[in-house]
Structure 1
């Protein structure tokens, strides 16, 4: 067991909160711990729980790593309901991005709070297992208690219970001979998916041979660990008037002759009811010449959700800017007219900044600054707040962490406004674009 002092990377989480919770054990608080466990056990009722051991007292949060601590989970044997991805907690070379949903021992808000899996006594980096070595399931798969209600399909008053999922966005740079070699490519991406177990990942600059490597890698991971979900990939090659035969080809080093098809893709969990087979293609009416941009979408009737991916015209002069803005306008109309009844997600390499006229077509009007879309941006530094800025002197909510090696923010996940942002992470870099991971609840 490694005794580790916890600090948080890429999150508003104070180290002092952990220190204030106490040392590496319960000290003279055994009676308090027992009483807390008894009360918590009664609260858990018949909900499925998993036994873990924590090596020190841990602060709890209503959302993973966000805001002020709401209470404390005492060191020792505890139960948890499930896990979600969130801000990475790191000390030296050790780290963990998982957060465990549990009921705290102390605090005014103690039901259904989150503590970092970094505090688990037995397991290593980015592992979240119970005392027997079994993987703690994702919250989206278990339907953990929410507030005073229990798990299941409905809560009080017939309201459908929310589930928690990890979702992702990634430009693989398969169309670039240099950047496609960075940081391990498909193998590194497989490792991230295996760890985070997302509901879906929207992908741009994908290659069909790389997709097969990803599928094979995830199949092998699933064979070793049944907690890894089964995935499928919907891929569509894009048209390019300057390429032989009018079809775009990849340029990565493993395929120097450029035989692999180049396009956009969506990786999705098969247990969530997404349509099998090719994704629905939507032409974004790119002006003639060069690469024709499109948006492809998959739908799930089971969770009433549509997921779309698009790669807008690359940066350039005035003509490219006009093209991007038109493509964004077309995409907005498709999302409204074809998928307005769904919970909507769209992952984008927009090739433009958050305050651009291109982005206007996605940001909800309440973000201000000319916004005329219908969606929430999951990587805004304002989180769930859809407004121009959190307070008068603050940075606009149309902004956030850089997603590209150019030090710009050009990659996004937009979602329906009712989708709750729980946390996000942009630390994984497997090309010149960061992988965007968000934890959401809807």
Structure 2
């Protein structure tokens, strides 16, 4: 067995059960070269909630219905469900954990504003790092993380589960096989939904505060979208964006409709963007956490010179229709299936974690390394930068820091 990788978790957050489930899936497939040896949370009881079954506070109630399949609704798990041969230490200061705990790496689920502050000292101490998406609170913070990783020869990854799921992989394969021809257009969008018109998203107020969450949906789920867009359709060169605050206050209400929490919202809850791809294709994105009345959704479409991928369907000019996942399963080479889904693992969280562990153990480059995380972040911030300065911007301009007017307040707040 390979040398064991000891992992410390920073931030015992609502997304943690989905990640613990990922580690469990890896174990069930014979991958047991890791141990979670330390937990860090601002409140000790939050870490105790996950350490050992039968101890600590009760599990949090899900913020979104479990039937949605959203990772935030994943069933509660404990470290003791994974292994009971280590004594898991608890810290309330991640800097102390980095200095004192028996760890080789940290896995950061904490709020976005913590990412760079935890990652950089960990990397400087020679620890490998994976952070939840979005990669960092600003592009500059992300660049500093990358510099620390490169300087100290450490692995730095972003937990981008959307990249690894079978739907994304199948779309990429269909495009690579030439089914829809040359890519011409990408479209996606929707208004309203579970968090509209004015709910606090995931009951986490920091998502609506610029210096804590970076932006609204353009950052929070924009990075997911851009990772999939870039992977399937090619690099985005230029973005023209509009962003607007619709609801100046956001609320959490109880079952009777009484307000039990509120936050002043200073980030966009709607954005629209036009995309120009390096390969000549064009695109459009629309997303909103606002919207009164009834929601509307157009899903996702990728249009080529011979057909399109609409949702999960391949539709060609001759009228034929095929489910992209079924087509992939039927016709893709087994070697490619084994590469994408080793040991038939298909859970995106498990695959992103396996990629991180392999990068540490074997030096195998991760498809979602820090450079990819930074590029997704730069594309997402390009929407807000474009809206701020009222002109199209290139992703290169944002990634390099040449354009950073919107982010200036964030960088000054953290002294970056």
Bigger CA radius of gyration: 1
| TM-score calculated relative to the size of structure 2 | 0.27
More relative contact order in 1 or in 2 (CA 8 Å, sep 6+)?
Answer: 2
| TM-score calculated relative to the size of structure 1 | 0.25
